[in-house]
Amino acid sequence: MRITQQQTQENRERIVHVAARLYREHGFDGIGIADVMKSAGFTHGGFYNHFASKEALAAEATKLAFQEIAETRARSGDLATFLAAYLSATNRTRPGQICPAATLGGDAARSSDDVKAVFADGVQGMISFIEDRLRKECHLSKEEAHNRAVNLTAKLTGALMLARAVPDDHPLAREILKSCLDGCLAEIRGQSSLPQT
Amino acid sequence: MRITQQQTQENRERIVHVAARLYREHGFDGIGIADVMKSAGFTHGGFYNHFASKEALAAEATKLAFQEIAETRARSGDLATFLAAYLSATNRTRPGQICPAATLGGDAARSSDDVKAVFADGVQGMISFIEDRLRKECHLSKEEAHNRAVNLTAKLTGALMLARAVPDDHPLAREILKSCLDGCLAEIRGQSSLPQT
DNA sequence: TGTACATCAGTGAACGCGCGTTCACTGATGTAC
DNA sequence: TGTACATCAGTGAACGCGCGTTCACTGATGTAC
């Protein structure tokens, strides 16, 4: 039963939206096409009417995930607020909603160059955002702001990834997030040393 | 055909050793038991003579990978040398040999608490190593050294993960490693700002 | 505007394949006497 | 020390299952006249 072109477009977007959540939760290899389609409200047979392959969906879903995060970022307040939100305890337990750089980095490294290119764009966006804020809020030079932004991006993604890779009740789960947030905040305030807890 | 107890032990260790490489290269979900056993020189049927499940092997392999890295670390020179080695371009293209925190973080986050506990121990070891070097080389207080070590660990693992998740020919692949190495080196030298490239 | 036909998104069965796991068997090793 | 038997690591076939992908079919939508 054929449907309207608009409905087709909406259905396709729903599949990508669901995939963006499920891939972040379970990894590219941890969830099947049938599961994605079922979560989107369809049977698996129609998948190839929309996408060339599972890998193609992975690329699109990763792209959408980065776009969603970029929008959230743009709506956030100052840089300190963004950092606190990124390294929050609630973020640690909501893999389906958070920055894909922290959940799908390993998966992307094992994927095609298509996925990696999407990943690079997303990381570049995060770096550019932080760089921009550093220039405006901290009045740093373009070069200085850029280098610091790259460093902060690596630290943020690494901290969230590591915090999620340890047991919920392990001290490191909280300590990594707190210590790195303190360190990041100290850095954007131009202090050379970390606060004494 | 039964073999000596020593041979049994050696065979078991060979399987874990091979798994430690293959899991880092392909992820827990990206490589099968039959492949691991074949790479170790056996048929797949004997797997359960050594391990309770694939998940159990994942935990043991992750543990061994962290141990191997800890030994390499202990043999490295000063902290600056370790940082340069960790963020080297060759490390980026040898996933099977590098720190599992940078390759299996996402996989561990989706695994059992057994695997996560192993992961936590490994990350703790990396933090302790850096903390120790910071105290000895930079004469920092225990608390200051610890906080900085946590921050550096997050940045190192994040940088290596991100560098591997972008295409080989993408500028970010080199830039992330270089910029973060510069940033880390500046930090352990007690400078408040990053070098101007 | 109305009609006839082509299009195509979604369905559900089916394909081949590889997965994790189990099992009967083999035969050299380990052990009890 | 020698003998008889139990043990068990490794083999390879087999299990059920879920995977990514294909396909014939349906029927409402889109379109050509």
pLDDT of B87-124, one tens digit each?
A: 999 999 999 999 999 999 999 999 999 999 999 999 99
Beta carbons of B197 and A147 less than 8 Å apart: yes
Q: Residue B63 has which token pair?
A: 């543990």
Query: Where residue B146 falls among pLDDT bands split at 50, 70, 90?
Result: very high
User: Model confidence over A24-40: pLDDT tens digits?
Assistant: 999 999 999 999 999 99
Predicted local confidence at residue B1, as pLDDT: 76
The answer, as to whether pTM is greater than 0.85, is yes
Residues of chain A found within 8 Å of residue B105, distances taken between Cβ atoms: 105-106, 161-162, 164-165
Beta carbons of B180 and A101 less than 8 Å apart: no
Sign of CA dihedral A66, A68, A70, A72: negative
Predicted local confidence at residue A194, as pLDDT: 41
The answer to whether residue A148 neighbours chain B at the CB level (below 8 Å) is yes
| Mean pLDDT of the B50-71 span | 98
Answer yes or no: is pLDDT of B154 > 80. yes
* C-alpha span between B73 and A122 (Å, rounded): 32
* C-alpha span between B151 and A61 (Å, rounded): 30
Predicted local confidence at residue B190, as pLDDT: 67
Answer yes or no: is pLDDT of B196 > 70. no
Predicted local confidence at residue A77, as pLDDT: 87
Query: Where residue B45 falls among pLDDT bands split at 50, 70, 90?
Result: very high
* C-alpha span between A36 and A44 (Å, rounded): 8
Predicted local confidence at residue A190, as pLDDT: 67
| Mean pLDDT of the A63-87 span | 97
Predicted local confidence at residue A74, as pLDDT: 95
Residues of chain A found within 8 Å of residue B23, distances taken between Cβ atoms: none
Q: Please state, as a whole number, how many other Cβ atoms lie within 10 Å of the Cβ of residue A185.
A: 17
User: Model confidence over B23-38: pLDDT tens digits?
Assistant: 999 999 999 999 999 9
Q: What does the mean pLDDT of chain A come to?
A: 95
